[in-house]
Structures are given as C-alpha cells and as structure tokens.
Amino acid sequence: MDKTFLKGLVLLEALARSEQACGVTELAQELQLTKSNVHRLLQGLVHQGFARNVADTGRYELTMKLWELGSHVFGRLDVRHVADPFMKALAAETSETVHLSSLEGIEVLYLAKIDSPQPVRAYTNVGGRAPAQCVATGKAQLAWSDTETIELARNAMTAYTSKSITRPEQLDSELERVRLQGFAINIGEWREQVCGVAAPIRDGSGKIIAALGVSGPADRLKPRMMHNLAPTIVTACDKISSLLGYRSRR
C-alpha cells in the first residue's frame, strides 16, 4: 500500500477536522510527520484543488472540492438501499416484522418492510401510513421534530385504542422519554395487539430522515423484550446514519 497516499489522506482528515487554517509545523506535530513531508503533501493537495494557502500566510485550509465530491456520493445514497442489510439482519435475529419509515407531516410513511415468517404478525403495507404519535417509528422521528410539527400532533390526537396517548402533556412526556433513551416504544397504541420498538436514522447533516423498527404481536413483543432489543436497533440505526455521512459528537 502506498504510504505517501495514506499520509495524504490522514492530512486531508486533519484539515477537515480543524476549525481554522493550519500551519505546517502544527500539522507535522499532530501527525508526527516531518515538516518537509507535510509541506510536500500540502502542495499536492493544493495542486489538485483540495486545499489552499490562505492569503499566502503559510496556513492551509480545505476548499469545497471535497464537499463537491461527497455531494455526488450522497446524491446516490438511498436510505432504503443503505438500510436493507440491517433490516435483513434484524428480521433474521427477531423473526418479527421490520419497518423503515419516514415522517410525512404528523404521519409515518412506510418506505420498506420485511415481513415476519410467523403466521401471526404485524400487518402493514409499503406506502401505507399511520399516526406518528401512535407508532414507534413515528415517535422516534417526532421526538426531534420542530415545535410546529409537534404542536400539530398534540392537536390531532385520537384514541385509536384504549392505550393511545390522548392528552398533550402525555405526548410531551413520551417524546421527552424518547429523546433521553434514544428509542421509542409503542404498546398497542395504534393497533390494540401490536407493539413495536424503533430508533431514528440521521443523514450527513444530522437531520432525522427515517426510523427503523421492529413490530409484532403483544404476546411476543412484551415490554421487557422490546427494551432488551432496543440497543440492537439503536446500533443498527447508528451504523446506517454513519453510512449516510452522519458523525456523532458523542
């Protein structure tokens, strides 16, 4: 493997992480390279249009070329395509129905689905919708929505089952719980005997663009099981988010 190429990539990453232009000496110290080596690598980046010498000060910063290249890649990414192997893995592990949904107003739109192989399962259709405040994938997205969207949900609550959230203060408390724990749970709030657990997916900007969840009959997906399953779903969503360009600050 070409060591010079690898050093160039490491230098590129260091410039990308820095909040200000960097000098040759500080880059050499950070990367444990010689100043002559760093200077030569910087000249290569400048020549290819990835970096520039700021007003001939001897300090360097990245140009927008890296962003332009990343934008081309990002434009080809489809959350359904990226999520597919993780959905298959969850379906194989749980033998329950796996959903991928996006938030459309105060409803979830089901983008993709893998059915449970079991005869009794959660019945939904790709392209179908459900009230966001009543299903796990909806709560997982609604919790980080803007105040206007949350207010619309607070004013549109309906008792679909005896377990549905119907009071604004209940919804506020539930969404705060989702934000704190990083995942959402539905215990028969949309369909009496259907439960689910889900977590959010973020794009490269940090915006939540979808949620991935597992759902099934209440007699199989009991609260304890859903809480035990939640870390696996959160990890899957974190990996999908990472592949979409998201970098957590945690």
% of the chain beyond a pLDDT of 70: 93
pLDDT of residue 36: 92
**Structural domains of the chain, ranges and CATH numbers in brackets:** 3-73 (1.10.10.10), 77-243 (3.30.450.40)
Long-range contacts of 73-81 (CB under 8 A, 24+ apart): 74/204, 74/244, 74/245, 77/243, 77/244, 77/245, 79/111, 79/201, 79/203, 79/209, 79/210, 79/240, 79/244, 80/111, 80/112
pTM of the model: 0.70
pLDDT of residue 119: 56
Tell me the pLDDT tens digit for each residue of 116-132.
Answer: 776 555 566 777 888 99
Tell me the pLDDT tens digit for each residue of 131-179.
Answer: 999 999 999 999 999 998 999 988 888 888 888 888 999 999 999 999 9
CA distance 170 to 167: 5
CA distance 108 to 131: 6
Reply yes or no on whether the pLDDT at 96 is more than 60.
Answer: yes
pLDDT of residue 104: 86
Tell me the pLDDT tens digit for each residue of 212-246.
Answer: 999 988 888 888 888 999 999 999 999 999 988 88
User: What is the distance, to the nearest Å, from the Cα of residue 159 to the centroid of all Cα atoms in its chain?
Assistant: 30
Mean pLDDT computed over 73-85: 77
pLDDT of residue 59: 92
Mean pLDDT over the full length of the chain = 87
